[in-house]
Structure 1
């Protein structure tokens, strides 16, 4: 099973290979606002083991590493992994970036205190969602935290990722595997092509 359609995979691979990051419609050079808040409030702490799924050019992963977390970023694109490594080197951050499929992450069971979804889930094929939830659950220690960032159905229609509903999320990360601590819409940093960024943020605990 593949997580994404081939056309979408090809789009991301070629974008990270050829385009300056500033030209990418989803890139804003800022870590997720809700991640920043969870560092401030102590939810994310130095020493925690965190896996960043769909780490892309490494913005979230490098930020969290600088805050003292032990971070591994995972991305399907080798060009994204290479760019993320350069970002970490520039920042002097000790982050491991590996190429891998988010449905079959090459890391051991129960290896993370936190799994962070860097805007992966909304791009995913419907038939891959349950497998993805299984993989997130496998990676987390019991009681571990899953953080989800996702395009919401509150955004205006447009190109790029599809917009998803709260039901899409809650029906995937089900109550028998995860406790939903919070799920809400927040306004994220605008980009040139998407000035009205209304995203879901979800916080789930592995049962």
Structure 2
């Protein structure tokens, strides 16, 4: 079963092979300010074992590695992973890049202190959300964190990812996770999306 909405299954299959990174709308070249704040405030501390799901060309993975995390980055696209390895080499960052599916992540149970998802969950079909959450719960240790940034229902309307309500963000997660933080934040504007309202979620794995 494929996790992603049909539009994005087609989009992810060839975009990293055929387009420059500057032309891919979700590749910003920078880490969003909310995630930077989690590192600054040591919510995600140095030394954390972090799995970056749907890592794309590795911008977040390299950021976390540069700030002292032990990072494993996972993506289904071999071209995206190649871009990520190039970026990591440029910065001298140590990142383990693995090809894999977000519904069958190629890492051991409870092997992460933090699972990071930047704009993955908002592409997941609603009927697959609980399965995705269960896989995140398998990967992160009890007491560990799932950190998500996603499009909110206040985003500029248009094509692309689903706009998520608070119920979309919360309800599939509550079986496995407690809520440390859930809030909307305004991120950097783009030409196509001048009013970028995203969710930041920090969920803690139950069972600690």
TM-score computed with the length of structure 2 as normaliser = 0.96
Q: For residue 181 of structure 2, what is the aligned residue in structure 1? A: 182
Following superposition, the deviation at residue 56 of structure 1 comes to 0.5
| Alignment of structure 1 residues 97-176 onto 2, 5 Å | 97-174=97-174, 176=175
| Alignment of structure 1 residues 62-101 onto 2, 5 Å | 62-101=62-101
| Alignment of structure 1 residues 45-60 onto 2, 5 Å | 45-60=45-60
| Contact 2:156-2:194 within 8 A present in 1 as well | no
Q: For residue 201 of structure 1, what is the aligned residue in structure 2? A: 200
User: 2-side partners of 1:138 and 1:5: how far apart?
Assistant: 23
Instruction: Spell out, residue by residue over 1:70-121, the C-alpha distance to the aligned partner (whole angstroms, 9 max, x if none).
Output: 0011111111111111110111000011111000001000000000011100
User: 1-side partners of 2:127 and 2:196: how far apart?
Assistant: 26
| Contact 1:26-1:191 within 8 A present in 2 as well | no
TM-score computed with the length of structure 1 as normaliser = 0.96
Following superposition, the deviation at residue 195 of structure 1 comes to 1.9
Following superposition, the deviation at residue 190 of structure 1 comes to 2.0
Structure 2: stretches of 5+ with no match in the other structure = none
Number of aligned pairs? 206
Following superposition, the deviation at residue 159 of structure 1 comes to 1.6
| Contact 1:148-1:200 within 8 A present in 2 as well | yes
| Contact 1:28-1:189 within 8 A present in 2 as well | no
| Contact 1:28-1:190 within 8 A present in 2 as well | no
Following superposition, the deviation at residue 6 of structure 1 comes to 4.4
Following superposition, the deviation at residue 26 of structure 1 comes to 1.5
| Contact 2:119-2:149 within 8 A present in 1 as well | yes
4+ runs deviating over 4 angstroms: none
Structure 1: stretches of 5+ with no match in the other structure = none
User: 1-side partners of 2:162 and 2:78: how far apart?
Assistant: 24
